[in-house]
Amino acid sequence: AGVKIAASHLTCLHEKQDLEKYTHFFADVPADRSGSRPHQALINFNDNRNATKWDRKKISKADSKSRSKGEDDGREIFKIQLAALPAGMEEVLTPMLLYNSARTTKTFIHPPSPSDKDQDDGGYFTIKAMITESGTSGALGATGGQKSYFWGRVTENKTGPNIISIDTKTGLAPTQSW
C-alpha cells in the first residue's frame, strides 16, 4: 500500500511540475477588450464551423504536420506574433496574436493593465522577451513585427472558453512555414 501511495504522490508531483512549465490563456479573446469597437476585435481565419467532414480531416492533418517527429504527447505548435510599432513608440505594450496552424484555436494575449504592474503579468513579458530575443521577422520584414513558434496544448472547457497552455520553459518550437 505504501508503494501505491508513493507512486501516486510521485505522479502528482510530476504532473504539477509539467503544469508549471505552461502559461495559460483563454481562447477567443478579442484584440479590443473595451467593447467599444467590436468590429476591430474579430479574427476571421476562414471559420470552419460549417466545414464538411472531409474539410475537418484536412484541418486535422494540417495540425499533425505541426508536430515534430517523435512528439506525440498531445502538444501542437502555436505561432505568436508581436506587432512592430512606429519609431519612438517601441515601449508601448500591444496585444500579441496567438494561433495554431489550422487557425482553429486563436486568441490575443494582452499586456497587464497599468494598475496591475506589481502583480503577475500572466506570462506576457516572458513571451514578449522570448519573441524579441529569438523570434524571426514577419512577412513584411523588420517593419512587420516578429514571430516565434511555441509548443502548447488546448484544454476544452464545456462551461466557458477553451484554455490554451503555452510552454515557456522548454524553449521555442521549430520554425514553421505557415
Alpha carbons 160 and 72: distance in angstroms, whole number: 27
Q: Output the furthest CA–CA distance in the chain (Å, rounded).
A: 65
Name the helix (H) or strand (E) containing 104.
Answer: none
The answer to whether the CB of 71 falls within 8 A of the CB of 64 is: no
Asked if residue 32 has pLDDT above 60, the reply is yes
Predicted model pTM: 0.72
Give CA angle at 128 (120, 75), nearest 5°. Answer: 90
| Higher-scoring residue by pLDDT: 113, 53 | 113
C-alpha cell at 160: 466557458
Mean pLDDT value across residues 33-41? 53
C-alpha cell at 109: 494575449
pLDDT at 172 (0 to 100): 96
Alpha carbons 119 and 154: distance in angstroms, whole number: 25
Closest CA to 154 of 45, 22, 33: 22
Alpha carbons 76 and 59: distance in angstroms, whole number: 13
Q: Which residues of 55-69 are buried (b: 16+ CB within 10 A; e: fewer)?
A: eeeebeeebeebbee
pLDDT at 107 (0 to 100): 96
Percentage, residues of the chain above pLDDT 90: 44
| Higher-scoring residue by pLDDT: 39, 79 | 79
Mean pLDDT value across residues 126-150? 88
Distances (CA, A) of 161 to 2, 29, 42, 68, 156: 40, 9, 16, 27, 8
Amino acid at 110: H
Mean pLDDT value across residues 75-92? 90
Asked if residue 48 has pLDDT above 90, the reply is no
**What confidence tier does 74 reach under pLDDT thresholds 50, 70, 90?**
confident
Closest CA to 166 of 77, 65, 96: 77
Mean pLDDT value across residues 34-57? 46
